[in-house]
């Protein structure tokens, strides 16, 4: 059972002879993907401050999960639910169908392909052991999409997937060949730095979730949260003794 303001809340399951229902919070604005498609001005990406706010809340949720030994394994805009009220955006991480809880001390796992291809890390596509660091990669791709409304490296469809297309695709992943010019031409230089480090193909050089939350670009959102009414929820250590 997860309890965090940026993770979807479920009420107890309702079972009847005819159906099973899982009550959950309602988010009338849908997902971050729906937000990107909600108005013409977002066709090239969300405003930087809005994207940063959504990203920060998602990163807070991911830190909570990783601290609990839970890997989400399918982070993407479609799985971040959005509510816009009182002049701010609230975001929660949802869809834990691929999530897994690992035993203390476990840092890697081998197994079948997990996640959504466009957001999956190089180690997943190439059948190398994956871990919490693979969530970091997916969150980095998600941020790129929020800022540009473009998938940085489109994965080949299952019908078109063969040795040649997969080799070409993995080569782009392992050389981190994202179209970063889409960020540079908008002046998103700090976000560019953050995404490049989150999506580093070298696992041992990829950022941890704590490093992500302490990045200068993210700290702008953290400062805003501290000044808001939700500061004591997102930052429980800041509560007065």
55-79 average pLDDT score = 95
Mean pLDDT of the chain: 85
Whether the per-residue pLDDT at 56 is higher than 90: the answer is yes
Section 18-41 average pLDDT:
81
Over residues 40-49, mean pLDDT:
92
Structure tokens at 83: 């509510």
Residue 235 has pLDDT above 80, yes or no: no
Q: How confident is the model at residue 109 (pLDDT cuts 50, 70, 90)?
A: confident
pLDDT in tens, 131-152: 999 999 999 999 999 999 999 9
Residues forming the active site:
74
Higher pLDDT, 9 or 180: 180
pTM: 0.85
Average the pLDDT over each of 3-12, 78-87, 91-100, 137-146 and give the range with the smallest value.
3-12
Q: What mean pLDDT comes out for the span 215-232?
A: 65
Are 8 and 24 in contact, with CB atoms under 8 Å apart?
yes
From 11-15, 70-74, 186-190, the region with the lowest mean pLDDT:
11-15
Residue 192 in this model has a pLDDT that exceeds 50 = yes
**pLDDT tens figures, 77-90:** 999 999 987 778 89
pLDDT of 176 above 60: yes
């Amino acid at each position: 059972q997860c309890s965090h303001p940026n993770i979807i809340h479920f009420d107890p399951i309702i079972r009847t002879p005819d159906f099973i229902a899982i009550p959950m919070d309602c988010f009338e604005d849908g997902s971050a993907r729906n937000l990107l498609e909600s108005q013409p001005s977002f066709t090239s990406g969300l405003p930087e401050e809005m994207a940063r706010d959504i990203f920060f809340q998602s990163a807070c949720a991911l830190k909570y999960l990783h601290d609990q030994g839970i890997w989400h394994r399918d982070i993407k805009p479609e799985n971040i639910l959005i509510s816009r009220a009182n002049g701010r955006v609230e975001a929660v991480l949802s869809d834990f169908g691929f999530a897994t809880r690992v035993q203390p001390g476990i840092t890697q796992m081998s197994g079948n392909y997990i996640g959504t291809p466009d957001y999956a890390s190089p180690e997943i596509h190439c059948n190398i052991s994956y871990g919490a660091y693979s969530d970091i990669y997916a969150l980095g791709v998600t941020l790129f999409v929020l800022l540009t409304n473009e998938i940085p490296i489109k994965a080949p469809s299952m019908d078109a997937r063969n040795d040649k297309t997969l080799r070409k695709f993995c080569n782009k992943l392992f050389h981190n060949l994202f179209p970063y010019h889409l960020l540079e031409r908008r002046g998103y230089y700090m976000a560019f730095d953050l995404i490049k480090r989150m999506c580093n193909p070298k696992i041992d050089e990829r950022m941890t979730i704590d490093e992500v939350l302490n990045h200068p670009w993210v700290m702008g959102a953290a400062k805003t949260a501290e000044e808001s009414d939700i500061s004591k929820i997102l930052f429980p250590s800041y509560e007065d003794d």
